[in-house]
Amino acid sequence: MSFHTQATTHEPNHNAMFMVWVLKAGVDAKPAFRALCALVENLNNSAAARFPGTQASCVLGIGHRAWQALALPQPQPRELVEFTPIAGDRHTAVATPGDLHLHLRGADFSLCVDMAMQIRQRLQAVADCVVQVSGFRYWDGRSILGFVDGTENPQGDERDFFAQVGPEDAAYEGGSYLFVQKYIHDMTAWRALPVAEQENVIGRSKADDIEMDDDTKPSNSHSALSNVGDDRKIVRDNLPFVDDATQEIGTYFIGYASTFGTVRDMLEAMFIGKPAGNSDRILDFSRAVTGSLFFVPTLDMLGEFAE
């Protein structure tokens, strides 16, 4: 089957903007949504022509409730559901509303700003923007905690394999499940830890990004619990952010996957623990304040939705 995917497997860019929108009650959002789908194609074509080689892009994801409200094709993608909280003894992966998600990438932040303004113009009458986060590349691809982020990301052709739905759900082949969380970090507590203890939390060396061997790595380290198997990966495009108004410092987690089951197993290992109670120690310093699931259709489907 031939299809054109959205830019779910582009490499992380220097700048990004993440937007979550919730449809307004009692308003027919279908005309605005059709205009948005056409806009997404236009923005991607324009970015490719104006900034070739930079992987500038705009990716649209659609939530379960919006899929129903917008009368999109049925049956819908098999694993597209309303995300529900995952609660352990000490930490909870919260669930928050989200009908539409926009992931905007650009080597120059100006492009992200311009794309966001165009999107806002199409949506502001029918939806409320409940999350808008501006992310940036921190040094050599590190999280704001100082460790390289995404070392275990699939590379090459494996990115498509792990990020995109296969022929088992033929109607949605080439699409992706998209899960996002906004994390706030307790930087004061984190910086109070000696580097050796930070490395035990992450399970990797801080300076040169080398994973600890199995005999050394703590079972509650982030790298031990966030990896649910080398044959079950997702494509992460996380970026740090700093909120000047609130002085919050955090990470916007964004993962594209061929199946949401992989993401859910990862979250359960982190938040509930493996075994239960042995939860990811990074959560002692990083608190999830949002959590939403979306489906990213192919560009071909967006073209059909725009008609």
- As annotated, the active-site residues are 149
Q: Compute how many other C-beta atoms are within 10 angstroms of the C-beta atom of residue 230.
A: 8
Extract long-range pairs of 112-115: CB within 8 Å, 24+ residues apart.
Answer: 112/15, 112/16, 112/17, 113/17, 115/17, 115/43, 115/47, 115/58
Q: What is the number of other CB atoms lying within 10 angstroms of the CB of residue 305?
A: 20
β-partners of residue 87 are 92
The CA distance from 289 to 283, in Å, is: 12
Upper half-sphere CA count for residue 255 (Cβ side, 13 Å): 27
Pairing verdict, β 239-242 and 249-257: antiparallel
Residue 274, CA distances (Å) to 95, 185, 301 in order: 21, 23, 39
